[in-house]
Amino acid sequence: MTTSRIALVTGANRGLGRSTAVALARRGVYVVVTHRGDGAGVEETVKQVEAVGGRAAVLRLDISDVSSFAPFAAQLRRQLEHWNASRLDVLVNNAGVGIFGPLEGVATEDFDTVMDTNVRGTFFLIQALVPLLAQGGRVLNVSTSLTRHTSPATSVYSASKAAVEALSRTLAAELGPRGIRVNSIAPGPTATDFNGGAMRDDAEMRQGLAGRTALGRVGEPEEIGDAIATLASEGLRWVTAERIEVSGGALL
């Protein structure tokens, strides 16, 4: 059996998923990285994982397609066996979608896409993979600081992440008898390619938000990845059912 812990990070082909995979690998964790179809992006993630001395495997997964979860779980089991393991230690539910618009501009199909991906997909993926989670495993669900403060045109996205936080608390109680910790982590404004890379590329937006954070700037992807890896560590083994915000003190 491998002595290394094994983590699965969804949506690890870019942004926070990539930074999380690298942060975990830097701590000696083997990483299964998933993507919905961005082969080039996930190859870059694997390259960065290996550059810090880590090991990575790639599986394709669309979390909006719940019917694919059973065969995906079988694929994951085979990958674990390839690494001489039988259990998954860490599940990071990072993959999600954001569609933004004012109340009058939100179409029903946009609402359904956000909820089906961020809430339905996250819930049923946990359900599908719980049988593979080790005793004392960790589930980390990525939320957003927008569940605490408000911003125009984000109502549907914020509501979907608030639902993820509620799921996290309830599942922490349900899975606690197996020693499985379930937490949500809520990034604040971060310079990634999410939402078209606005936070990364729009200098005026960055400056405006930087002036409204306690630490005077927006976050970097590596800072979120490090926080997730820390929350998955033994050092925080007594933390469960919590929402941890990583926002540099945004909009206090």
Domains detected in the chain: 6-246 (3.40.50.720)
pLDDT in tens, 139-192: 999 999 999 999 899 999 999 999 999 999 999 999 999 999 999 999 999 987
Count the Cβ atoms, other than its own, within 10 Å of residue 90. Answer: 26
Confidence class for position 207, pLDDT limits 50, 70, 90? confident
Is 80 exceeded by the pLDDT of residue 21?
Answer: yes
Q: What is the mean pLDDT of residues 194-202?
A: 62
As a whole number, the mean pLDDT across the chain is: 94
Confidence class for position 76, pLDDT limits 50, 70, 90? very high
Beta bridge partners of 250: 213
Backbone angles phi, psi at 135, to 5 degrees: -55, 130
Is 90 exceeded by the pLDDT of residue 201?
Answer: no
User: What pLDDT score was predicted for residue 163?
Assistant: 98
- The helix, strand and coil proportions of the chain, stated in percent and rounded to the nearest 5, come to 50, 20, 30
Is 90 exceeded by the pLDDT of residue 39?
Answer: no
Is 80 exceeded by the pLDDT of residue 229?
Answer: yes
Q: Name, of 1-10, 79-88, 203-212, the range with top average pLDDT.
A: 79-88
Q: Give Cα 158 to chain centroid, integer Å.
A: 15
Q: What is the torsion angle, in degrees rounded to the nearest 10, for the CA atoms of residue 41, residue 154, residue 222 and residue 126?
A: -70
User: What pLDDT score was predicted for residue 195?
Assistant: 58
pTM higher than 0.85:
yes
User: What pLDDT score was predicted for residue 96?
Assistant: 96
- Please tell me the distance from the alpha carbon of residue 67 to that of residue 53, in angstroms, as a whole number: 35
Confidence class for position 210, pLDDT limits 50, 70, 90? confident
Confidence class for position 196, pLDDT limits 50, 70, 90? low
Contact 179, 237 (CB under 8 A): no
Any idea which residues carry the catalytic annotation? 157
Q: What is the mean pLDDT of residues 198-221?
A: 81
Q: What is the mean pLDDT of residues 115-139?
A: 98
